[in-house]
Amino acid sequence: MTDPANRENMFKILSRRNWYRNTAIAATCAVMLFLTGCTKEVLDMLPKRSGGGGLGSTPVNRYRFKANYRTQEGATKVGYFAPVETKWWVTDYSEILMVSNSLLFFNVHSADELGAGWQYWKTSDGFWLSLSYAGFLYRSDSTNRVAWKIVNGKLYNNYWKPDNWQDYPAGAKYYGGFIVNDFIIEGYYVGVGYANELTLTNCELVPVP
């Protein structure tokens, strides 16, 4: 039978060899990360750790849309996308307004089949950002969803005049109100086809934790 002392020495030697091997792998991976960048192949070589945070963490996928718009007085104001405020007489009104603050969040879904940069935006209340025949942004079901992308601080869509979409950025225009069930809802309605001075600028999706 093997002497217990000798067996203990063998385990110590094997453990030491494993420690040397893991240290060498970690050092090699660090050099590879520095030389080649953080690729999936390199990440797969790194020792796996339990728990959240660090490499491999789930990215934030909840955003608010923020942009500058022009007021009636000609001033520039910072605003966020928001649905028309629900009134007791309006049960389902889905146009999009620019307001000073909003809790309307978007989850971003890739639309790469349409080309680089296009995305579908799903709202926090379970709808998709879309565009009506009249050119107004609104919330719709998945069958009417429209793809969006931000280029040079302006918001574009792939639905309105898709052959020259770059000529139709989103803008915001003040309306004394749309008449809904004999009531008027006022605000800066977001749409396309407005004059250049009404175009939304500095558009961005702001991550929400």
Q: How far is CA 52 from CA 38, 49, 57, 134, 181, in A?
A: 18, 9, 6, 46, 50
Q: Is the pLDDT of residue 198 over 70?
A: yes
Q: Are 190 and 97 in contact (CB under 8 A)?
A: yes
Q: Where are the domains of the chain?
A: 4-45, 63-207
Number of C-beta neighbours around residue 128 at 10 A: 21
Residue type, 14: L
Q: Is the pLDDT of residue 54 over 50?
A: no
Q: Which of 11-15, 154-158, 168-172, 202-206 has the lowest mean pLDDT?
A: 11-15
Query: Which helix (H) or strand (E) covers residue 151, if one does?
Result: strand 147-151
Side-chain-side CA neighbours of 31 within 13 Å: the count stands at: 5
Number of C-beta neighbours around residue 150 at 10 A: 19
CA distance 131 to 161: 12
Number of C-beta neighbours around residue 145 at 10 A: 20
Q: How far is CA 43 from CA 22, 26, 121, in A?
A: 15, 11, 30
Two tokens at 89?
A: 């007489």
Per-residue model confidence as pLDDT tens digits over 119-133: 999 998 889 999 998
Give 53's DSSP letter. Answer: S
- What's the fold here for domain 63-207? Trefoil (Acidic Fibroblast Growth Factor, subunit A) (2.80.10)
- The alpha helices in 37-108, defined as continuous H runs, are 40-45
Per-residue model confidence as pLDDT tens digits over 149-182: 999 999 999 998 888 999 999 999 998 866 666 6
Q: Pick the closest to residue 76 from 165, 197, 196, 184 (CA basis).
A: 197
Q: Pick the closest to residue 124 from 170, 186, 69, 61 (CA basis).
A: 61
| pLDDT computed for residue 180 by the predictor | 64
